[in-house]
Amino acid sequence: MKASLSKSEIKGKVNAPSSKSYTIRGLMCAALAKGESEIVYPLAADDTYAAGRVLAKIGVGLDKSPYIWRVQGGNLQRPFGRLYCGDSAATLRFMTAISSLIPGKVRLTTGESLAQRPLKPLLDALQLLGVQYTAEGGLPPVTVQGGGLKGGYTELPGDISSQYVSALLLAAPLAKETVRIKLTTPLESKPYVLMTIECLNKFGIGLKASEDLQEYEITPQKYHSAKYVVEGDWSSVSYLMALGVAAGEVTVGNLNLSSLQGDRVIMSFLQQMGAYVTGNENTITVKQAKLKAIITDLSDCIDLLPTMAVLAAVAEGTSELHGISRARLKESDRVSALVEGLQKMGVTVREIKDTLIITGSQLQGAVIDAKNDHRIAMAFSILGVIAGNTVIEGAECVGKTYPEFWRVLQSIGGKVKKDGK
């Protein structure tokens, strides 16, 4: 599908979509808990559907209604056939660890883009805990020999993906012995691990973690069913806020202003760039402002890179976005995708190792390849409503995390014409 964008004045009030990360974590914990749990206000999107389908294949009951998903968990069974995780990295990584708890062999497969993203650090860490696996080159597809999570000591790097750590934390309580985890490199995207720990606590799981989140100890224990309420997604909200500051005014509700989500820092980033941002209870308002350049590190909020890159493109001066290496291992190589798209739109941008250097420039319309990456599509929509005459190719990829994005953009004044399926 192509989304054609014309110059637009943005104004309106919308609610944030529910958090993908919390929805998937809630589903996984509910699957491991005996009895019925409720996931309240879940995100209905490609990635969460992928998680639900996989869980259903291992004996987890899932009854969906518009605002509540009821999960019958606690009785994991060997699946018939493969577990297809689509392009949901969280589903693949979490289920790789959880598959170690299921009797027999479990084979996990993925979509094309996820098949190129590394899994070996997690597999090696599981192997130290007694898990056997096969995965050519440490990439999907992977076959896990279940029933073998013995426990003990393991280690893994912390600077490739925080999802590896979260995957181990999800499975560890059901190991036969105490699990001790040590990270061999500093943890990046710490907020996502804190989100996992918060979710575990909601389902009755306790653990010990060092203050710097470099070491963990999890004793054998049971998950308890729970009513789990999913909060709004700050990653998706970043695009709505950017639209407001760049092209009008936006008020966003359904937010937890004290959320553990790392991308909540977008409020601070925008304020540093000179934007008008106010918050009240569960609502924020952002108004158009003349932005100034920013120098910041995105190591703990790497999903904000596309949003910050397009904001830097319209800010006065030269911005430096550091800590971006892991963005090369997402749904696309986001660094390359951003450089390509920004240059097409007339923006001066340089890529130096772990940094993007972007100088605010006069925009021109362009045809942007979204690279089948939801965050690239949504980010360039912001520049599209400023420059006009812009086409996002592969615009349907927003369904991964925010299926309603184009409709919401239209509802707040965005002039969007969708062509094709």
- Are residues 250 and 196 located together in one domain of the fold? no
- As a whole number, mean pLDDT of residues 255-273 equals 97
Edge-to-edge strand list for the sheet holding 208-209: 152-156, 179-183, 215-218, 208-209
Among residues 194, 218, 242, which one ends one of the domains? 218
Summary mean pLDDT of the chain: 96
- Are residues 118 and 74 located together in one domain of the fold? yes
Placement of tokens 């985890």 in the chain: 181
- Are residues 57 and 136 located together in one domain of the fold? yes
- Are residues 79 and 43 located together in one domain of the fold? yes
Residue 107 lies in a domain: yes
Q: What's the domain range around 383?
A: 2-17+232-419
Residue 225 lies in a domain: no
The helix (H) or strand (E) run that includes residue 54 is helix 46-57
Residue 226 lies in a domain: no
Confidence of residue 373 (pLDDT cuts 50, 70, 90): very high
- Are residues 194 and 95 located together in one domain of the fold? yes
Residue 175 lies in a domain: yes
Residue 124 lies in a domain: yes
- Residue 303 annotated to the active site: yes
- Are residues 382 and 285 located together in one domain of the fold? yes
- Are residues 297 and 160 located together in one domain of the fold? no
CA distance 7 to 115: 38
Cα-trace Rg, the chain:
21
63: left (phi over 0), alpha (psi -120 to 50) or beta: beta
- The answer to whether residue 229 scores a pLDDT higher than 70 is yes
- The answer to whether residue 139 scores a pLDDT higher than 90 is yes
Residue 227 lies in a domain: no
- Are residues 47 and 171 located together in one domain of the fold? yes
Instruction: Report yes or no: 47 and 400 within 8 Å, Cβ to Cβ.
Output: yes
Among 88, 80, 136, CA closest to 105: 80
Residue 348 lies in a domain: yes
Q: Kind of pairing, strands 248-253 and 10-15? A: parallel
- The answer to whether residue 306 scores a pLDDT higher than 80 is yes
Confidence of residue 146 (pLDDT cuts 50, 70, 90): confident
- As a whole number, mean pLDDT of residues 243-271 equals 97
Among 149, 130, 135, 139, CA closest to 111: 139
Q: What is the CATH number of the domain that holds 405?
A: 3.65.10.10
Residue 223 lies in a domain: no
Placement of tokens 């709505």 in the chain: 240
- Are residues 211 and 247 located together in one domain of the fold? no
Instruction: Report yes or no: 177 and 220 within 8 Å, Cβ to Cβ.
Output: yes
Among residues 193, 218, 243, which one ends one of the domains? 218
- Are residues 317 and 409 located together in one domain of the fold? yes
- The answer to whether residue 421 scores a pLDDT higher than 70 is no
On the 0-12 / 13-18 / 19+ scale of CB atoms within 10 A, 116 is: exposed
- Are residues 319 and 342 located together in one domain of the fold? yes
- Are residues 209 and 282 located together in one domain of the fold? no
Q: How many angstroms separate the first and last alpha carbons of the chain? A: 5
**Tally of domains in the chain:** 2
pLDDT at 215: 98
Among residues 174, 196, 218, which one ends one of the domains? 218
Confidence of residue 361 (pLDDT cuts 50, 70, 90): very high
User: In whole angstroms, how far apart are CA 215 and each of 150, 157, 182, 187, 212?
Assistant: 19, 11, 5, 10, 8
Question: Annotated catalytic residue: which of 46, 87, 233, 303?
Answer: 303
Among 37, 17, 266, 21, CA closest to 163: 21
